Structure 1
Amino acid sequence: MQSQDTTDIAVAALQRLRRSGQIRAISLDLDDTLWPIWPTIAKAEAVLLQWLAEHAPATAAHLGDTARVRALRHEIVELRPDLQADLSGLRRESIRLALTRAGDDPTLAEPAFDEFFAARQRVELFDDALPALAFLSQRWPVVALSNGNANVHVVGIGQHFRASLSASGAGMAKPEARFFHAAADAVGVAPEHVLHIGDDAALDAQGAMDAGMHAVWLNRAQLAWPHEGPEPHVTVASLLQLCQGLADR
């Protein structure tokens, strides 16, 4: 649990940012910031296996379980480096590879991926996610900036976002500075006037700072900062604490 002193420091730092007038937009990570990603992926992979058992049983038998599904997904990363930033493409091609190896029809990769992708959108939000989205979007334009392939409109939170950028759609990924700059461009502000919020120390916090943005590291697990050099402008333990710090005083 975060100490009261640490909480007070975070809230005070956010209040200073708020009062400075420097923040004119918010960019926000999705996976593991608004919902836990791996339970979602595990459920989607189970749905995929069930679909394959009905439509491509040899492939389902060859894969066996979700661990093998995930291993094949990692294998395709090595085989198709051109798809590194395209998680949908990587997943689709890993399914195609599994079908081909098992002697099933590789064109089934498309409907199989559609089943997986639909299940991947069924996320369970953290308790503080919806209140935080409502709070932030009432005060600033908010841009989703994700290396994942969730669709905020399908998930059911699209009304809170002015724009949504994914690595799959943009052809680039965090921590590339130009991806962060694309988020700033999407709402017509300079990077130095964007506050980026995300859970990943390297991809989100360090990436945002390197791109010239203000960075809030959402550190739910209370980990130590893992990098050398400057720490994030603010570290919070929850989105609730973030909103407390950014509230009008």
Structure 2
Amino acid sequence: MTQSAGTHPHSMDVGRIRAVTLDLDDTLWPVWPTIARAEAALADWLAVHAPATAAMYADAKALRAVRVQVEALRPDLLRDLSALRRESIRLALTQAGDDPRLAEPAFDFFFAERQRVDLFDDALEALEFLAARYPVVAVSNGNADVHRIGIGRYFKASLSATVLGVAKPDARIFQAGAQAAGVACGAVLHVGDDALLDCRGALDAGMQAAWLNTAGAAWAHEGAAPHATVPSLTVLCQWLA
């Protein structure tokens, strides 16, 4: 089922929705420009505070290669993107001969920059619409902080794979989202951009799912399709009104 406009049919049972769980990265803002900007800011910080590391890892690809090393050394951190980033910085500092204790302030600087997101044009209006009608719970595999970003007032709770120790599409993170909202999974509409992590995961957890599909891609996964496929959050809100 692929829809590209608000006039297309959908199978959402709007009357059954009592809460909304919402993905963050690439649903409310584009994530990769945010990460790229934060990594560039980190490089500038390292140039001042850890010049040997900055010189050795002047190329962002080189620093990402260190992250691959850390993933292999510390598979326990794969659900904790903050810890993974912090330990990657620590390893880079160590390999370059700089003080590994700089990993903490370096990460703190990066993390603050990571929260400087550019919301999609319709994100705030959609959040206001949703929060006025439902308890809204953020469910994310990433490490964005809705309060530091400045949108915490729209959310009853914000859950991350880092805190829960499980990541989408694991049903348990969706179940935790429903619990935080105070309703059963069957009363939740999950909204997200990732067909597998968001939609397939939510469907497997017994939720209704709305796929934010700005690219107009076809549904390519086995099993049931999302209850709605929308090109924008604005269209989703029109269908829920």
TM-score (norm 2): 0.96
Count of paired positions: 240
The answer to whether 1:33 aligns with 2:27 is: yes
Q: CA deviation at 1:231?
A: 1.1
Q: SS at the partner of 2:8?
A: helix
> Which of residues 35, 57, 62 is equivalent to 1:63?
57
**Residue in 1 that maps onto 2:111:** 117
The Cα offsets for residues 63-105 of structure 1, whole Å up to 9 and x where unpaired, read as 1122222232233222211011100000000000101111111
**Residue in 1 that maps onto 2:88:** 94
8 Å contact kept, 1:45–1:69: no
> Which of residues 161, 172, 177 is equivalent to 2:171?
177
Work out the CA distance in 1 between the residues paired with 2:57 and 2:150. 32
Work out the CA distance in 2 between the residues paired with 1:42 and 1:246. 34
Q: How does 1:10-21 map to 2 (within 5 A)?
A: 10=9, 12-14=10-12, 17-18=13-14, 21=15
Structure 2: unaligned runs, 5 residues or longer = none
> Which of residues 123, 129, 132 is equivalent to 1:135?
129
Q: CA deviation at 1:3?
A: 7.4
**Residue in 1 that maps onto 2:215:** 221
The structure-2 alpha-carbon separation of the partners of 1:13 and 1:3, relative to structure 1 and needing over 3 Å to count, comes to: closer
The letter of the residue matching 1:141 is P
Work out the CA distance in 1 between the residues paired with 2:36 and 2:3. 34
Q: CA deviation at 1:149?
A: 0.4
**Residue in 2 that maps onto 1:9:** 8
Q: CA deviation at 1:187?
A: 1.6
The structure-2 alpha-carbon separation of the partners of 1:187 and 1:116, relative to structure 1 and needing over 3 Å to count, comes to: same
**CA RMSD in angstroms, aligned pairs only:** 1.4
Q: SS at the partner of 2:33?
A: helix
**Residue in 2 that maps onto 1:199:** 193
The Cα offsets for residues 162-212 of structure 1, whole Å up to 9 and x where unpaired, read as 000011122111111011000011121101101000000100000000011
Q: How does 1:34-49 map to 2 (within 5 A)?
A: 34-49=28-43
8 Å contact kept, 1:27–1:194: yes
Provide runs of 4+ in structure 1 moved above 4 Å: none
Percent identical = 64
8 Å contact kept, 2:6–2:239: no
Work out the CA distance in 2 between the residues paired with 1:124 and 1:140. 24
Q: SS at the partner of 1:122?
A: coil
Work out the CA distance in 1 between the residues paired with 2:3 and 2:106. 47
Q: SS at the partner of 1:134?
A: helix
Work out the CA distance in 1 between the residues paired with 2:69 and 2:38. 19
Q: SS at the partner of 1:223?
A: coil
Work out the CA distance in 2 between the residues paired with 1:168 and 1:224. 31
The Cα offsets for residues 136-163 of structure 1, whole Å up to 9 and x where unpaired, read as 0000000000000000010010010000
8 Å contact kept, 2:6–2:238: no
**Residue in 1 that maps onto 2:143:** 149
